[in-house]
Amino acid sequence: DAMVIQNPRYQVTQFGKPVTLSCSQTLNHNVMYWYQQKSSQAPKLLFHYYDKDFNNEADTPDNFQSRRPNTSFCFLDIRSPGLGDAAMYLCATSRSGTGGYNEQFFGPGTRLTVL
């Protein structure tokens, strides 16, 4: 039944050790998003894909990169995690078209801990 799947649900990494979070969807949606949510803060958009068209938010650190090899999968790569990167990472999808009118479908998130 799960439509947006994120693996793993919990990820522990060491300071500076690259880590990859994954997201897959069964909805065949064109748009995929990655959000970062730190404790007691609002989810913040890192980047999104419209099909293969990648859109990076201006304030997303260079340390964060993403790949979307096909419609179903999207990856978030953190090249050198710092303590400040510890957060919940949410993946979401939506149908294409007039983006604001389409609800987003979220995965359950991956909680990243950096030691």
Q: Is the dihedral of CA 91, 92, 93, 97 positive or negative?
A: negative
Cα 102 to Cα 89: distance, rounded to the nearest angstrom? 21
Given the complex with another protein, which of 15 and 50 has the nearer CB atom? 50
Given the complex with another protein, which of 26 and 80 has the nearer CB atom? 26
In single-letter form, the type of residue at position 22 comes to: S
Considering only the stretches 11-19, 43-51, 64-72, 74-82, report the one whose residues sit in contact with another protein under the rule CB under 8 A: 43-51
Are 13 and 76 within 8 A, CB to CB? no
Catalog residues that contact another protein under the rule CB under 8 A.
4, 31, 33, 35, 40-45, 48, 50, 55, 57, 90, 92, 99-109
